[in-house]
Amino acid sequence: MILDEYLTSEEFKAVDMNAVYLGVSTLQLMENAGRVVAEEVEKRIPVGKKVAIICGLGGNGGDGFVAARHLSKKFKVQVFLVGSSTNIRSEEAKINWNIIQNMRSSIEIQELKDSTLIKPFDADVIVDALLGTGLKGALEPPLSNAIMMMNRSKGFKVAIDVPTGVDSDSGDIKGEGFKADLTVTIHKNKIGFKNAEKYLGEVIIKPIGIPLEAELFTGPGDVYLTNKPRPKNAHKGDFGYVLVIGGSETYSGAPALTGMGAYATGVDLVYVAAPETASTIIAGFSPAFVTVKLKGSRLTMKNLTQLQPFLNRVNSVAMGPGLGTSEGTIEAVNALIDLVDEKNLPMLIDADALKSYATRVRKFKAPTVLTPHSEEFRTLTGKKVIGDYRERGETVQKEAEKMNATILLKGEVDIISDGHRTRYNWTGNPGMTVGGTGDVLSGIVVGFMAMGFDPFESSSAGAFINGVAGDEVFKEKGYHVLPTDLIDKIPKIIEDALSGKICKKV
């Protein structure tokens, strides 16, 4: 996926995380950001003028420290840190703070630890390096005092990435916003800029070395986009209920694996609806399952009445694992798909349900994910997926658009497309050809959908997590992978992705 021209703050954070995963360090990105800001100032301001850089305690402040170092060669530079240096949050910002601390002869530094120390800034250039996209809620002292004094100052005003006080997502002004003459925004425009033009001045978009692949390939940033914070006052139901419909007299393990995959993402409750012959075995997988015993040895039209009440209780539905493809089951699956689609309930169609859907392919109204492998994709569409990964991606994208669904094509490189955006997942290994790993993947994806995330984001994160889980098991057991091994890895992989501990080998 190449993201839109305008990014949300969360998308920008995700791209940044994926860039680091690809091997570009945060320190490199900070260095490049500060340097490009300095270059834009140099283009506009005569040598020897006074430059005041007002810095915050996070990454935007770190960009300001770097800009100060570069500008000090040609200008009289002052750095004002709003707060105490002991509270600088970012390790990379601390590194650059320590560097400018050693530049006593070329950079004047002041720590403004409380509001009483903040006065109008006497400089030819005022650089805002306070928050960037980090604004959360209304500004409070001493930041609000700093913005007020920066606006009162007469110098040429430059904002790094986003003027402080401007919400980068909505364009709303939180208190008083910094009124820039020039905004040097990083990588891409921010979506809130559309509603904040009078605070931006001239907008220059500057690349800082974020690879194209940070938007095209899945990574930890995709996990971040499906992270739902869990407040202290959370209660049952806030993180979604899932219904898995699967199993038959022949297959009982598949729907249980899907249910366990969903639980591993953090959903609150999983119902597993399966024929009586399979439901007892499924219940033995975990006491956390609420099993729905469907009458008979396989799914038929007679079971739909029994299933309907559960469709009103859940936030997403996965259907297909272990269902089989008897004539009566195919009819029932297609009727279920229509029913769920009419309710606009997020659903995932996998395995045998894909084969049933292939008998009557139609466009979806509800948020839907299809998870075929290459042969199932051919059955669905009549198209053979050939060529390199990009050519295969084009084929998948066209078919996803026709169906108005997200397709997650499983393979050596997973391809995820919703018909408009396309991503590629490179995690995983040949040991994952063992039966059941795809059922776990379905559980992860439908779990994220139950939490309210869209099918494309859920599929991108799910493919990445499932593949990393397989890679972790491979390190321990080689190619002797069991799908249950993956389930045990999922919670830690999610936490490690969010904390930056998952690093790609470069």
Q: What are phi and psi of 212, to 5 degrees?
A: -50, -35
pLDDT in tens, 371-397: 999 999 999 999 999 999 999 999 999
Q: In angstroms, rounded to a whole number, what is the distance separating the alpha carbons of residues 264 and 491?
A: 6
Same-fold call for 6-216 versus 220-498 = no
pLDDT in tens, 99-156: 999 999 999 999 999 888 999 999 999 999 999 887 877 888 999 999 999 999 999 9
Radius of gyration of the chain (CA): 26
> Which three-class secondary structure state does DSSP give residue 88?
coil
Alpha-carbon distance values, 383 to 255, 379, 386, 441 (Å): 28, 8, 9, 24
Which residue numbers in the chain have pLDDT < 50?
Answer: 1, 505-506
The CATH code that applies to domain 6-216 is 3.40.50.10260
Please enumerate in sequence order all residues whose Cβ is within 8 A of that of 106, keeping only pairs 6 or more positions apart, or say none: 72, 73, 77
Written out in words, the top-level CATH class of the domain with range 220-498 is alpha beta
Q: Where are the domains of the chain?
A: 6-216, 220-498
For 185, other C-beta atoms within 10 Å of its C-beta total 23
Task: Give the pLDDT of residue 504.
Answer: 67
Q: pTM of this prediction?
A: 0.95
Task: Give the pLDDT of residue 133.
Answer: 87
Q: In angstroms, rounded to a whole number, what is the distance separating the alpha carbons of residues 502 and 492?
A: 10
Strand (E) positions, 198-337? 202-206, 241-245, 269-275, 290-294, 316-319
